[in-house]
Amino acid sequence: MSDFLVLLNSNSGHVAGTVAEIRATGAAMTPKEMENYGIIRTIDSFIKDDVQYSKIWQPEIDFEIVNQVLSLDGFRLKLTVTNASSNSGGINATKIESFVTDWGGSVVSITPPNEIVFDISIFNALKSKNFWDVSTENVIFTETNYDQGTGIHTIELDYDALGNSPSYIENFIAEKVTIIGHDGSNRFITFEAHRSIIKAEFERDILKKLPKIHSKRFYFGSGVVSAILAAPNHILDSTISQVVSFIKDKKDD
């Protein structure tokens, strides 16, 4: 059997009816939990089957290559964000626009709430502050070679305007790309980077920096909350089929 911990009020910042957690039946509750939560107890299921209903609302991102110019290693990409319900505070394409710009890209079109088309070149992305996680305003990047077949870019980085030591710069750069030369006296570093690095870093960065959605995904309506409040000790016994019929999904709102 499983206990669905259901928020009975909005004191925690979430909406009443939210499925906060799934626990094994009989698990101890703190006094604060007893004050704020009720329980729907499933009498014919096991916790491992029910944990899906405690999921956090998560964005899912999909990339589609609309066009590609290999001679320039440039791409037109369509990015689609699912779970992007504006009614539920989901992320949307408009919020991504400045993010794309900070990656050295340019927005072509936005189709609210969840689709954005943009152009980006690998070299511009490799110069962007979002790739390096710091401002690149005072750094000069010069592409000395690009192998279209392998997708490897060779770039010379002039960091003379920075006050950091050569060893610090080298260690910092090496965390992202492959260093193939370093002239510490003249403050130049030469590095190689494959185009695949950009896709991986872009996906990682967009998940990290886009506005987070802190609400749970599944919830019960006000009628079910009222039934829990009316039940002895705020524990409502139900079958799993009843729970499935009660439960609501924010993706469908």
Residue from 218, 196, 205 nearest 61 by CA: 205
- Kindly state whether residues 73 and 192 are assigned to the same domain: no
Domain count, the chain: 3
Instruction: Looking at the structure, tell me whether residues 82 and 187 fall in a common domain.
Output: no
Cα dihedral: 99, 105, 107, 108 (round 10): -160
Domain residue limits at 78: 60-121+198-209
Q: Are 11 and 51 within one domain? A: yes
Residue 66 and residue 53 share a domain: no
pLDDT (tens place) for every residue of the chain, 253 residues total: 788 888 887 655 556 788 878 888 878 888 888 888 888 888 877 666 666 776 665 566 778 889 999 999 999 998 877 655 544 444 556 667 888 889 999 999 988 767 889 999 999 999 999 999 899 999 999 999 999 999 999 999 999 999 899 999 999 999 999 999 999 999 999 999 999 998 888 878 877 766 554 456 778 888 898 999 899 989 899 988 888 888 887 766 6
Q: Residues 85, 204: one domain?
A: yes
Produce one character per residue of 49-62: b if its CB has 16 or more CB atoms within 10 Å, e if not.
ebeebbeebebebe
Whether residue 131 sits in one domain with residue 177: yes
Same domain, yes or no: 84 and 178:
no
The confidence score (pLDDT) of residue 190 equals 97
| Same domain assignment for residues 43 and 64 | no
Same domain, 17 and 45: yes
Maximum Cα interatomic distance, the chain, rounded to a whole number of Å = 78
Please indicate, yes or no, whether residues 135 and 115 belong to a single structural domain of this protein. no
* CA atoms within 13 Å, Cβ hemisphere of 181: 11
Question: Do residues 129 and 176 share a domain?
Answer: yes
Q: Does 129 share its domain with 101?
A: no
